[in-house]
Amino acid sequence: MDLDSAQSAPTQSPSTGERPFQILALDGGGIKGLFTASLLKAFEDDLGCTITDHFDLITGTSTGGIIALALGLGKSPQDIVDFYLKKGPSIFRNPLKGLVFFKHLVKRKFNPKALEEALMEVFGGHLLGHSQKRLVIPSYSNDSCLPCTFKTRHHPNFTRDWKRPMVDIALATSAAPTYFPASTRIDNIRHLDGGLWANNPILVGLTEAVSYLEIPVSQIKILSLGTTGALTNRSRRMDHGGLSQWAWDITNILMDAQSNGATFIAHNLLGDQGKQPQSERILRINPTVPPKLFELDRIDERRILSLASETSKAYTPRLKEMFLSHQAPSFTPLP
């Protein structure tokens, strides 16, 4: 985390003129990141393009952060799909069942070694400074109880993060409480999943563009991709407000509230409140699926790949209209 980034300093903003500045924001969601990667691949297939060529900044949280880092390194969506298909079962294998459930009350659910080894295969010894795109990756410090972000060197004050190994940042953004332990690979700080405060990182990207890159809000467009949302019927028992009524749904409710709230605020900041889903500034894609169809640690691969294909067909015309006329200039990190 660049502690210096809170200080003001001159910045080398992209030379935009009236050209759009386009942000790709990728939600967290565990193994459901396969949907995000598959959707990006489907977009490329349907549009005949390289999707990252059209975005000036990428932000991603947790599994979305892993995807963002891979895209920054030049990995294709197909490469990332293959990663989830091949490594997902080993990362999320043997979920606790039966009496073993009680172990989960005092211990993380999955072995972090499998995740670390899988990420090493993707990122190797690459540093954040090797990214070909501007990146902003959220995490959370359990020591200072403060949100933090890891950023490429696109501002003079960002002097530390570019030296960090990508694999360390990937582990820091994806250390989901109860699923994996805190990651201490960066400065021995206990980093937790960025989804604790920015599972939908749309505001992270918007803030970066406005505050540090000094992009006028009138030029900003955002493609925000979720990992699917579940259509749920909140039990009326929850109206009583007791622990037993709320315990099983509270995580999903908090995540939904954070995500929807972030999108709502972003629409307001860009001046198109009340226009969604016809917004000309933000395209939010997060298809709703039946309850329990996909979970953070369990998916039906065939169905999620099919959903990505169907979603691409539905949104390709809008995506082309909003984003493909812009070609992002190549990113050169500051010296």
Strand partners, 25: 59, 224
Name residue 335's amino acid.
P
DSSP 3-state of 323: helix
Is residue 174 flagged as an active site residue?
A: no
The torsion defined by the Cα of 247, 248, 250 and 255, in degrees rounded to 10, comes to 150
Catalytic pick among 5, 38, 62, 174: 62
Number of other CB atoms surrounding residue 285 within 10 Å: 20
Residue 315 to residues 46, 72, 211, Cα–Cα distance (Å): 10, 24, 30
Catalytic pick among 2, 5, 193, 279: 193
Q: CB-based contacts of 121: which residues, under 8 Å, 6+ apart?
A: 87
Is residue 193 flagged as an active site residue?
A: yes
Q: Tell me the C-alpha distance between 90 and 175, whole Å.
A: 16
Strand partners, 222: 23, 282
Active site residues: 62, 193
